[in-house]
Amino acid sequence: MSTYRIVDFAALPAVPCPCGSARRALADEPAFPGTLHVTQIRGAAQKHYHRSLTETYYILRAEEGSWIELDDDRVALRESMAVVIPPGVAHRIVGNVDILNIVVPNFDPTDEVLVDSDAVD
């Protein structure tokens, strides 16, 4: 019996999410304490927060001019940055960005709360 696991994200179906589309893995892996997502954001993601999940975004690719909104702050994004987003922090990305999202504990769509955003894009 193997003690390791390999995930081919290219073979996983993309599912719609408030950020754009996500390929999600490892929810059923007992050796991993969360889930791993590869997410593509194109344009403006819907602002949202999580009640109990912590997300860590690792920026794989970000077009110039892309940014993340964290509560009322805006931070310019570039490749190789990481952003830890604790529960309760409203967030969204604006721009064309690909991220690796590490979610702890396992992702639960019922934990996600959409926020009306009147911020200018």
Whole-prediction pTM value?
A: 0.92
pLDDT digits (tens, 9 = 90+) for 96-117: 999 999 999 999 999 999 998 6
In this structure, the dihedral spanned by the alpha carbons of residues 72, 90, 75 and 54, taken in order and rounded to 10 degrees, is 140
Q: Return the CATH number at 109.
A: 2.60.120.10
Asked, for residue 10, whether it belongs to a domain, the answer is: no
First to last CA, the chain: 51
Residue-wise DSSP of 29-52: -TTSSSEEEEEEEEEEPPPEEESS
The answer, yes or no, to whether the previous bond of 105 is cis (omega within 30 of 0) is yes
- Structurally, how many domains does the chain consist of? 1
Asked, for residue 6, whether it belongs to a domain, the answer is: no
Asked, for residue 4, whether it belongs to a domain, the answer is: no
pLDDT digits (tens, 9 = 90+) for 25-36: 999 999 999 999
Q: What is residue 10's three-state secondary structure?
A: helix
- Residue 46 belongs to domain spanning: 15-114
Asked, for residue 72, whether it belongs to a domain, the answer is: yes
